[in-house]
Amino acid sequence: MSATHESGMGERIARLRMRRGLTQERLAEKAGLSVDVVRKLEQGRRRTARLSTVNALAAALDTEPSALLGQLTTFEVPPTADEAPSVLALRQAVSPVADLLGGDDDVEDAPSIVQLKEALASTGSIRREGRVAEIGAVLPQLIRDARAAVHASAGRDAAAANSVLAVAYQVAATTLTALGKEDAAFTAMERSLAAIRSCDDPNLETLAASTLSWVLTKQGRLGDAERIALARAEQIEPGFRSAPQDIALWGVLLLRAATAAVRQEKEQQVEDLMRQATAAADLVGEDRLVYATPFGPTNVGIAKVNFLVEMDRSREAVRTAPAVPDLTSLPPTWRARFHVDRALAHTDLGEDARAVRALLTAEQDAAEWMRYHATSRRLVEELRGRATRGSAPVFALAERLGLAD
């Protein structure tokens, strides 16, 4: 386990605060928070915080939110893994030295376009199930294969290969971001945008805007994230007779913008965006996968619960959650994130037993994903800290997540 995880969020905040020469009072002032919040976090009396609070503290401390959250920074290797995942291999695939030296990819064994598309589809399935280590094992080779195919092809085949390469780079961006490597993720997005200029799928520019907005949100660049999503949403705004996929792509961008807005505590903006997203979901009719992202009434419903939790409206979030329709239509990782939001709301209300049950439900949906999800980890730490040894489920869950005592 990395050293980052051996200390709590409060210890990380205190360490960075002292490095910056700030008092608790000055940090609170810079972050726009009460000094009581800073004190409670540093003293370990609070182990969780709204993401808007985390972002405000990160900005005041001139660091990324991931540095405070303490997320895993490398892949964990399952004992049954055929091939070990590697952050270094993923970095090398995204930023090969050959590009700097003027060399070319080895094109002798370039796969066919059909093989590339099949490999990309398989990666999409792995992502939706939250099998993070497996993504880390297969993604570097997919990127290398797609690059080789681009260099070995011409015409339509080259355009198709660039489409696969563009999406593969975006998968790399989300994976690197999940490991706290936001700058490497930005590089992957630059590569994706370059591939999109020569691809055969007009929707990939919209997909890139959505992914880039998410990466920027994780970097703590919330204004940039909101701007990117809204600018692209304005460019592609559909009409009532547009195809469901076009409406869904637009809706995904609205949710990305709302995610950035809620972490800036722009509640009116969030409500306006959610009204538009709800109308778009009603037009779509049922949740459909837009590339790797679902959009429809169910995903808008879980987004609403997430935003209520972020706006500190936990009682309303708990009341709203049961009304979310057809959860089984969503991929496992989306369902798991929804149950983590339920757990956050119950924890805020002092309903620890219900919070633990929600976390156990999330684990049933996407156990490996939870090990990499910083919010899940710190929430389990908080619940374990408040529990007695007789509360076996939360202690067992903490052990399965690899959390030190």
Q: How far apart are CA 165 and CA 190, in angstroms?
A: 12
* Confidence at 1, pLDDT banded by 50, 70, 90: very low
**pLDDT tens by residue, 378-387:** 899 889 988 8
- State the pTM of this model: 0.89
Q: Where are the domains of the chain?
A: 1-70, 72-201
Question: Helix, strand or coil for residue 289?
Answer: strand
Q: What region, left, alpha or beta, does residue 32 occupy, with left being phi > 0 and alpha being psi -120 to 50 degrees?
A: left
Q: How far apart are CA 311 and CA 380, in angstroms?
A: 21
Cα-based angle 169, 170, 174 (whole degrees, multiple of 5): 120
Instruction: Output the six-digit token pair for 312.
Output: 């500190």
Residue 107 has pLDDT above 70, yes or no: no
Mean pLDDT, the chain, integer: 91
**Least confidently predicted of 174-188, 201-215, 377-391:** 377-391
66 vs 356: which has the higher pLDDT = 356
**CATH for the stretch 1-70:** 1.10.260.40
